[in-house]
Amino acid sequence: MKILVTGGAGFIGSHLVECLLAEGHTVLTLDDFSNGRPEFLAHLLNHPRHRLIVGSVLDRKLVKKCLSQVDTVYHLAAVLGVKNTVEDPIKVIEGNIDGTRNILELAYPSRTKVIFASTSEIYGKNEKLPFNEMSDRVYGAPSIHRWSYATAKSIDEHMCFAYAAKGLPVTVLRYFNAYGPRQTNSQYGGVVARFITAALKGEPLEVYGSGTQRRCFTFVDDTVRGTIAALRPEADGLSFNVGSTHSVTITELAQLIIRLSRSASPIILKSYAEAYGPGYEDMPAREPDLTRAETILGYRPSVSLEQGLIKTIEWYRERISLETV
């Protein structure tokens, strides 16, 4: 197939592009490098079935041109990261809503299949676990910036289902805390990348809040496996949880990373206010029900947290040692 991947130079996107090429597809990557990095695709730049276009999903003319060359689009380009969300909600709202609107509007006339990368954040602070695809969304007040990302992704999903009702083949994937090589490890990145970097540098691992909040961390290979399975037509018109069901607390995660990386770093607790500013809200736990993904996509995650962390630690170890040379 001919496939467009927006955000294809990013963390999940670059793994997806690699995998699609390995499966024999022709891939057009669109990325503006706002979050993605050229080096994540450097080894694929001369691949005969791959082309990279540097540009934004906000550029309608460019999106139209890219879409005219493919039969399917994976829309992964997004503005994400909890810190981004609390610091610049306008960028998060506009970036996520306008880009997705362009993709859907411009894919519609040719009925180009759209596979949209959504998020487990969509369930918000719903406490009824595990979340299935029809679970309620529970958010705090709109004055709490943290909910702007989930709200923007919710509008995106509403648009997806509205276009699906008009006959566009659309699939929505809700990723649960993906981690692995290439994840952003700055203060704008996810907790796994941040903890591993701190552990390898001998710096403290900062656990926010009580550390009892739970997440199901999913190795990126498993995330990509579910993403590729969404190509099948049976997935059209549906949303799917894509993640692991193995739940850990953030303190347990920190302890595991310290053990696996043989680090002497301490674990310190930091309040949410210190980490993200006043008025922050976190969700106590997130866990997917994978029944639908298993039944329709044949999806089952296969990489244990320990195996995935070992691979991820190795990747950061190499990069950190290169940085210090």
Residues that bind ligand UDP (CB under 6 A): 82, 121, 177, 190-191, 194, 206-209, 213, 215, 250, 282
Q: Are strands 178-179 and 72-75 parallel, antiparallel or unpaired?
A: unpaired
Query: Could you tell me if 82 and 177 are in contact, meaning their C-beta atoms sit under 8 angstroms apart?
Result: no
Q: Catalytic amino acids?
A: 149
Q: Which residues pair with 113 in a beta bridge?
A: 72
Cα 309 from chain centroid? 17
Main-chain dihedrals φ then ψ at residue 267, nearest 5 degrees: -105, 130
CB of 74 to ligand UDP, least distance (A): 21
CB of 194 to ligand UDP, least distance (A): 4
Q: Which is nearer to ligand UDP, 160 or 250 (CB)?
A: 250
CB of 274 to ligand UDP, least distance (A): 11
CB of 57 to ligand UDP, least distance (A): 22
CA distances from 13 to 190, 194, 261 (A): 16, 20, 26
Q: Which is nearer to ligand UDP, 41 or 283 (CB)?
A: 283
Give SS3 for 72.
Answer: strand
Q: Which is nearer to ligand UDP, 213 or 245 (CB)?
A: 213
- Please, which residues have CB within 8 angstroms of residue 170's CB and are 6 or more apart in sequence? 104, 113, 114, 115, 116, 160, 161, 163, 164, 236, 237
Q: Which is nearer to ligand UDP, 57 or 82 (CB)?
A: 82
